[in-house]
Structure 1
């Protein structure tokens, strides 16, 4: 069921959203790898997120996705998790045929693995907010000024409150506008310097990865 907000329609993720979101991820975080290399790396990353997703929301206007949020709840069931993992494995094998695509995939997934380690450290502390993880929150540049990031995050909050959740957490890094989460009232729980060297950065640069959380 979709929900209209102004010109935007908010609805759960559907198969038709997959490639538009792949393109949006590639444009947002893999701009150093234009074309197929970035698209393949973004495919692997999105499949990984979807294999954990129990609740989702896509914002679209005139049939074009402008943003999305993917949530993983510890007590939730992902019925199609194996299908997403298989789809990601196919993209990995395809990327392996191209050195540039392999580099893009290895860098992006190294960041995902590094973030997962930070998340595990946070979860081990036993915070109640660890019961739900925001896997992806992305907004198209075309949607700037619409307050779409806030709208999507507010819907996450409403969904979790309806389920009686104590809160949620998310991973982010200096490639993102970290100040958005400060502005939205989330708490920075952990910060670690990334060991991944991204294109255009000097080895050992102080590139931060973060855990943010919110008690509901």
Structure 2
């Protein structure tokens, strides 16, 4: 159910190290269905993935509902900047421990392989784009809006907040990776430029899909 009337009551805050759990919960809400195996595995996979992603996140904006829940968020990284969540969070150790737990469960190895495939495809697209002369100074890692608030313009609001944060760091351009399982057509308009497309391998959970890379100037 859309909460259009409540959008004005949302509080926008900058990402803090204490918001790690919110990022994991949002990632699980968006991508938990991709996990191959028992439903309970999805939460661990979300934590495992975010433990890697958050090592590179240097900025973020969150929209908090009056109830305290997360209405939406956008996180990204300016290459060379200091991550919001520092080394005291022990994210590499957390990720390593979670990977062992995931690999020991039914569907776990297949899910890890799926994310490894996606990572390799993204790096291939990044390398291909760099070889074509396009180098980006920052990356938007995750843009998410709660189903309760979709259709209210919050994706655009969060994107604008992320771009403002990057401009404050004198970033001239940035990129993002997505795939055909997402609402990728959101990026088929200004200020986005399609940089590349790579078909996913013909493996369980990926058949018929493709990885996409987009860039934008600031």
TM-score (norm 2): 0.84
Structure 2 match to 1:12: 14
CA RMSD of aligned residues (A): 2.3
Matched residue, 1:26: 28
- The CA distance in 2 between the partners of 1:101 and 1:144, in whole Å, is 31
Partner of 1:90: 97
Does the CA contact (< 8 Å) of 2:121 and 2:198 recur in 1? no
**CA deviation after TM superposition for structure 1 residue 184, in Å:** 4.6
Contact 1:37–1:102 (CA<8 Å) still a contact in 2? no
Choose 54-63 or 7-16, whichever is displaced more: 7-16
| TM value normalised by structure 1 | 0.84
Across the two proteins, how many residue pairs are aligned to each other? 207
Q: Contact 1:37 / 1:104 at 8 angstroms: preserved in 2?
A: no
1:116 is matched with which residue?
123
Question: 1:47-62, aligned counterparts within 5 Å?
Answer: 47-61=51-65, 62=67
Matched position secondary structure for 1:99: coil
Matched, 1:212 2:214: yes
Distance in 1 of aligned mates of 2:202 and 2:63: 32
Shift of 1:125: 3.9
In 1: Cα distance, 2:145 partner to 2:202 partner: 24
Pairing partner for 2:142 from 111, 129, 136: 136
Structure 2: which 5+ runs fail to align?
Answer: 1-6
Q: Report the counterpart of residue 73 of structure 1 in structure 2.
A: 78
CA contact (8 A) 2:173 2:217 kept: yes
Spell out structure 1 runs of 4+ moving beyond 4 A. Answer: none
Q: How many Å apart are 1:122 and its aligned residue?
A: 2.1
Partner of 2:114: 107
For each residue in 1:38-97, what CA deviation from the matched residue of structure 2 results, as whole angstroms up to 9, or x when unmatched? 111111111111011111122221211122212111121226257222211121111122
Deviations along 1:101-156, one digit per CA (max 9) or x if unpaired, are: 3322332343133213322332344425x110111112221221221111111011
| Partner in structure 2 of residue 163 of structure 1 | 169
State the 1:212 CA deviation.
Answer: 0.5
Match of 1:45, SS state, is helix
Q: Which runs of 5+ in 1 are unaligned?
A: none
- Cα 1:15–1:109, aligned 2, differ >3 Å: closer, same or farther? farther
Give, in angstroms, the shift of residue 170 of structure 1: 0.5
Q: Distance in 2 between matches of 1:27 and 1:154?
A: 23
Measured against aligned partners, the alpha-carbon deviations of 1:1-46 in whole angstroms (never above 9, x if no partner) come to xxxx722112123355333432332232231546321111111111
Rounded Cα–Cα distance in structure 1 between residues aligned with 2:130 and 2:82: 19
3-state secondary structure, aligned to 1:30 = helix
